Amino acid sequence: MDKLNKRVVLVTGATGGLGTAMCKKLFNEGFHVVGNYRDKNKADAWQKSLLSDGYKIELFEADVTQFESVKRMIERIENEIGPIDTLVNNAGITRDGRLAKMSVDDWHDVINSNLNSVFNCTRNVINGMIDRKFGRIINISSVNGQRGQFGQTNYSAAKAGMHGFTKSLAMEVAKYGITVNTISPGYIGTDMVMAVPEKVRDQIVAQIPMGRLGGTDEVAFLVSFLASENSSYITGANYSINGGQHVY
């Protein structure tokens, strides 16, 4: 067990499929894991379910699209638990549709949830990381931020923007012992993807050279690696995990 395993990790969007796998993996690695949520009923059920499996993960409410809401959450976590030394920006939504028919609300909601949230959360932890001369920022993007996707101009723009954020911030904070990296998953077998009609799912899988969906545990393993001491010389990188669906 390395020295990082006592550090506090905050995972936004913790109660989703990817968030759940990340929380479990980081907990198993010995980190002190806290999660962010918006839906209290879902969060309570999620927390109870994980606790029954031995995972004690504190949850904190915040609307990640609102800077002041995030600020209050970060202050609570740091006062009650301790400094946040690893931040996983995982929260996000989709509001798909062709740009010619996309509403202004669908554009702004996706940009706010997927991209502005990264600023809101990172801005509220970065100065503490600079003071302590240590930090890990891990941004969860998407293969569709790399290659684009029909009907996802809002989502693809936000996810591509995340990596531009990653590259620039990585340059700014490298001298303080802080790493900033992006993970770009392809189609992962979350509840949301598995709820897609089987015929549509089969069409998706047919486009993946490995011939299967990715596992949430595979993404979580990569998150845990980037949170570890072993990744201390990696920064400004974008890790693709898409089964060969998009290579470059």
Distance CA 140, CA 138 (A): 7
Alpha-carbon distance values, 13 to 131, 183, 202, 209 (Å): 26, 15, 27, 29
**Which residue's entry shows tokens 């809002």?**
154
Instruction: Provide CB contacts within 8 A for 101, sequence distance 6+.
Output: none
Beta-carbon count within 10 A of 220 CB: 23
Catalytic status, residue 155: yes
| CA Rg value for the chain | 17
Out of 37, 155, 233, 248, the active site residue is 155
| C-beta separation of 114 from 155 below 8 A | yes
C-alpha closest to that of 224 among 159, 136, 164, 150: 136
C-alpha closest to that of 102 among 94, 92, 114: 94
Per DSSP, the three-state class of 66 is coil
Question: Would you name the residues annotated as active-site residues?
Answer: 155
